[in-house]
Amino acid sequence: MTDKELEKISQEIDEFLLSASIRYTLAPLNLSGVMLARLIHLTKDNDDLYRLFLSVGNKDHLKNTEEAIH
């Protein structure tokens, strides 16, 4: 997957999250939590999801540049 493809997918996911958030009257973070739980359930005993998280998290243009708040 190229960075350009990843960026396009990210934008489409943002649009989906906003649309579903409005449809189900859920905050986007709550909705993404439901989606993440489903992904984990569907990929149980499969390391692909975790490898994907690591690969996406390591992309410089997707890293959070703000200082973390503890």
pLDDT band, residue 19 (cuts 50/70/90): very high
Residue 40 inside a domain? The answer is yes
Residue 69 inside a domain? The answer is no
pLDDT higher than 60, residue 48: yes
Residue 46 inside a domain? The answer is yes
Q: Which residue has the tokens 């692909």?
A: 48
Determine the Cα–Cα distance for residues 6 and 1; give it in Å rounded to an integer.
7
Determine the Cα–Cα distance for residues 41 and 37; give it in Å rounded to an integer.
6
Q: What's the token pair of residue 43?
A: 């990929």
Residue 36 inside a domain? The answer is yes
Residue 34 inside a domain? The answer is yes
pLDDT band, residue 4 (cuts 50/70/90): very high
User: Within a 10 A sphere around the Cβ of 29, how many other Cβ atoms?
Assistant: 9
Q: Please give the tally of structural domains in the chain.
A: 1
Domain limits at 34? 16-57
For 60, half-sphere exposure in the C-beta direction (CA atoms, 13 angstrom radius) is 0
